[in-house]
Amino acid sequence: HWRRLADAAKAGGFQRQRFGALSVLSDEAYRGDDIDAVEKIEREALADARGWGNRPEEAASLYGLALGANASGRPDDAEQHFREAIAI
């Protein structure tokens, strides 16, 4: 149901609802140890945030990507994402 909400929110241009739904999806994937899904969702959110010029959500998505990279044993990628997020 969160995926449907995220897709409908994007279609309607409802940023807050879109990012909220994607955040829930990412959190559920992270808790379920599905790091590939986390990174896919966060990349999707990052593209939307950049497309909409939403800098706080861009930073949040980079943070999520950093957590995913760290959890999958890629600390260098995690550090790069953290640095990008902090720079925002």
With the CA atoms of 7, 34, 30 and 9 taken in that order, what torsion angle do they form, in degrees rounded to the nearest 10?
Answer: 0
How much is the pTM?
0.91
In Å, how far are 1, 20, 82 from 78, measured between CA atoms?
30, 22, 6
pLDDT score of 79: 98
In this predicted model, what pLDDT tens digit does every residue of 30-75 receive, in sequence order? 999 999 999 999 999 999 999 999 999 999 999 999 999 999 999 9
**Do residues 54 and 9 make contact, with C-beta atoms less than 8 angstroms apart?**
no
In this predicted model, what pLDDT tens digit does every residue of 4-24 receive, in sequence order? 999 999 999 899 999 999 999
pLDDT score of 60: 97
Instruction: Identify residue 64 by its one-letter amino acid code.
Output: G
Query: At a CB cut-off of 8 Å and minimum separation 6, what does 41 contact?
Result: 22, 25, 26, 29, 64
